[in-house]
Amino acid sequence: MTTIITAVALFALAMLPLVLAGTGKIKNKKLALVLNIISVFSLCVGMLAFGVVSNAADEAAETTEVVREASSGYGLGLLAAALTTSVSCIAAGIAVSSSASAAIGALSENPDVFGKALIFVALAEGVALYGMLISIQILSKL
């Protein structure tokens, strides 16, 4: 029960800069975003360190197979799958935004280039699909 309370408290602490920016307590939105990124990163590092410590305690006590499955290695695998999907989706969003704006500009000058422009936008979107496939492969190995 205390673990759940601790996790909720840490999550609320990590989201505090965005809440303060939304209510107007922090006027600089970029500062609030930087504080949020730092707090979420420190939350991830803290939870990872807590998982490593609890995993060492579990191995010392020689717990059952079910508890060992939820080790820090399993958690790192889940983190790798999440990062693979999220980073590839962010990269695909950046690529689609630049290629789609260029495609719209080209279409406004010459409507005959629609097929070529569509191919470039679809290739940029493929990055997200590849990231999702890699994360599925990571999850299948856990």
Residues 79 and 139 in one domain: yes
- State which of 69, 98, 118 marks the end of a domain: 69
Taking residue 85's Cβ as centre, other Cβ atoms within 10 Å add up to 18
Overall average pLDDT of the 7-36 stretch: 77
- 71-75, 119-123, 126-130, 134-138: least confident range: 71-75
Helices (H) and strands (E) in the chain, counts: 5, 0
* Mean of pLDDT over the chain: 77
Is residue 46's pLDDT more than 80?
A: no
More confident residue, 66 or 21: 21
59-72 per-position pLDDT tens digit: 555 554 554 455 67
Question: Which of 69, 93, 119 represents a domain boundary (last residue)?
Answer: 69
Structure-derived torsion over alpha carbons of residues 123, 126, 131, 132, reported in degrees to the nearest 10: 180
Is there a single domain that holds both residue 85 and residue 135? Answer: yes
Domain residues for the domain of 61 are: 1-69
- With CA atoms as reference, report the closest residue to 80 among 48, 33, 43: 48
Q: CA 140 to CA 60: how far, in whole Å?
A: 28
Overall average pLDDT of the 99-123 stretch:
85
Listed range (26-40, 44-58, 59-73, 75-89) with the worst mean pLDDT: 59-73
Q: Are residues 77 and 58 in the same domain?
A: no
This prediction's pTM: 0.50
More confident residue, 94 or 72: 94
Torsion sign over Cα 60, 63, 68, 70: negative
Where is pLDDT greater, at 78 or 64?
Answer: 78
pLDDT for res 68? 47
